Amino acid sequence: MFRLNPRFRPLKVFSRNTGMTFKSHPSTRLSNNHPHSILPCLLIRYFRHRNSHHSPADHHEFVNSDENSTTDNEAINLKNVLKTEGNKPAIEIERALTRCKPTLTEDLVLNVLRRHRSDWKPAYTFFNWVSKDGRGSGYSPGSAVFDEILDILGRMKRFEEVHQLLDEMYQRKGTIDETTFGIVLNRHAAAHKVDDTIELFYKRKEFGLEIDLAAFQTLLLSLCRYKHVEVAETLYHTKKNEFRPETKTTNIILNGWCVLGNLREAKRVWKDILASECKPDRFTYGIFVHALTKNGKINTALKLFRAMWKEGSNPDLAICNCIIDGLCFKKRIPEALEIFNEMNECKCLPNAATYNSLIKHLCKIRRMNKVYELLNEMEQKGEGCSPNARTYVYLLKYTKKPEEVFEVLERMERSGCKMNSDMYNMVLRLFMDWDSQERVKSTWVEMGRSSLGPDRRSYTIMIHGLYDKGRMEDALYYFNEMTSKGMIPEPRTRGLVKAINVKAQDGVS
């Protein structure tokens, strides 16, 4: 058992078992045959065009080589088989897949798996079928396919299957690499299996990988990413003789405390770095400036920012962006715009992130003329300044009615920016908030067709939105469907469902 350095407070481990009952509500289920006419034509056309997962007959004016690809068509066909046969025994699903007679390739297999990132059961069934000598096709999955299924299973905390696959990969020789190990470490750390994560690190040699400084930094990064910074720093100090200290390693620890929001510990590590042989680099400054701005210490951050200029250690784009975002958050937008203008003079050219910070906060105060002035500038500059999904999420977030949603999506279409899961979820939330149920249903269908959802966030939006609208049975139905897919509900969602069940029991009694 790995022990924490006593100078850190002990980590607390919580365990909770919540008993719940469900009511089946099949009448609310959204099938793939749901009529598209209930969603405005612009949204339908946009969703189909941007995601390229429909046949050319559905939208002939947007046909291109990607949309008409054989791989996409075969992947959609296999996904439909997995969905249709999903409740049957694995052997029957495999027979149905065999009857499809697909031409198995690495691209096709990855395509199908990525359409099931939030649904591990069909993904794993498909992978097992593919692994059985490709059912006579001669295809054998490569490292990328193994990495994809490991990530899916790890995300859903199916660690027994993860370890079985690792053993299988070891038998194949040469399929386990740094990417594979990084995925496995990340997923164990994300599940807060700290001891298992460290134990896995020291098993690297068994899988033919070296235990070196770069690998150690990957371990620390995984632990810090999922809030186990105390463990990571204790490891760093206890393993100094095994892995020589360097700035990159201390940056990982500093960033861990900053992401955790513990400014006191971040300041301590910052002082330790200044006093050590590992002198701060531009990344160190960037991390600490970000911590200061995130904790509302914008004046201190500005002093450090100005000091960098005076010392000749010119702040990079990331640091400038951080200062601008911090000033905007404090509603000091004129100062943020001043630094924005100075960036051009100092040859530190702004990028999409710079513009997005300004747009986000200008949207909040409804200075829409300035927002669209900046948006026009982004479109004109192109390259690294082109509007991205985050830009349009900010614009959508502050829309007031459905017509404005369609205007934003139309502009997004013209810019060539593709939909992502965050965008779908934002549209879903807006329509739910406005109680536009027909558009909610159509957006839900399009998410499924695009393979960008629904994910846990989508289900959370549906469950809480339906609850707020007084549709308790519908909320329970979506909760049941989410958990049947192996998704882990957020604590607040569990609490909400528990409250629904208590109300239902009180009503019966």
Tell me the pLDDT tens digit for each residue of 114-147: 999 888 999 999 999 998 855 566 788 889 999 9
Cis peptide before 454 (omega within 30 of 0): yes
Distance CA 260, CA 285 (A): 17
pLDDT score recorded for residue 103: 86
Distance CA 419, CA 43 (A): 11
Q: What average pLDDT does the segment 492-508 reach?
A: 85
The answer to whether the pTM exceeds 0.85 is no
Give the lowest-confidence range in 20-24, 280-284, 381-385: 20-24
pLDDT surpasses 90 at 25: no
> Is 4 strand, coil or helix?
coil
pLDDT score recorded for residue 508: 55
Contacts by 71-75 with C-beta closer than 8 Å and gap 24+?
Answer: 71/105, 71/107, 71/108, 71/111, 72/111, 74/100, 74/102, 74/103, 74/108, 74/111, 75/108, 75/111, 75/112, 75/115
Tokens standing for residue 209:
């990988």
Work out the mean pLDDT of the chain and round it to a whole number: 83
Tokens standing for residue 493:
């969602």
pLDDT surpasses 70 at 39: no
| HSE toward the beta carbon, residue 338, CA cutoff 13 A | 5
Using only the alpha carbons of the chain, give its radius of gyration.
25
Distance CA 458, CA 456 (A): 5
Contacts by 500-507 with C-beta closer than 8 Å and gap 24+?
Answer: 500/467, 500/472, 500/475, 500/476, 501/20, 501/21, 503/472, 504/21, 504/23, 504/472
**How far lies 156's CA from each of 81, 90, 237, 264, 455, in Å?**
22, 19, 32, 34, 12
CA dihedral 164, 170, 174, 176 (to 10 degrees): 50
Q: For residue range 139-184, what is the model confidence (pLDDT) as tens digits?
A: 888 899 999 999 999 999 999 999 999 988 888 876 788 999 999 9
Residue 225: count of CB within 10 angstroms of its CB: 18
Instruction: Report the percentage of the chain scoring pLDDT > 70.
Output: 85
State which amino acid sits at residue 188.
Answer: H
Tokens standing for residue 80:
């439909």
pLDDT surpasses 70 at 66: no
**How far lies 36's CA from each of 26, 42, 76, 407, 452, in Å?**
20, 11, 18, 19, 18
Helix, strand and coil in the chain, % to nearest 5: 70, 0, 30
